[in-house]
Chain A
Amino acid sequence: NAGVTQTPKFRVLKTGQSMTLLCAQDMNHEYMYWYRQDPGMGLRLIHYSVGEGTTAKGEVPDGYNVSRLKKQNFLLGLESAAPSQTSVYFCASRKQGVTTDTQYFGPGTRLTVL
Chain B
Amino acid sequence: RKEVEQDPGPFNVPEGATVAFNCTYSNSASQSFFWYRQDCRKEPKLLMSVYSSGNEDGRFTAQLNRASQYISLLIRDSKLSDSATYLCVALPGGGYNKLIFGAGTRLAVHP
| Chain A residues at the B interface, C-beta cutoff of 8 Å | 31, 33, 41-43, 45, 48, 50, 58, 88, 90, 94, 96-97, 99-100, 102-108
Contacts and interface: CB of A to CB of B under 8 A. Distances in A.
Interface residues of B, number: 20
Contacts, number: 45
Interface stretch (B11-19, B65-73, B75-83, B91-99): B91-99
23 contacts: A33-B98, A42-B87, A42-B101, A42-B102, A43-B87, A43-B101, A48-B97, A90-B44, A94-B99, A96-B96, A97-B96, A99-B31, A99-B91, A102-B34, A102-B46, A102-B49, A103-B46, A104-B46, A105-B44, A106-B43, A107-B42, A108-B41, A108-B42
A50 B32 CA distance: 19
Nearest to A94: B99
Contacts of A48: 97-98
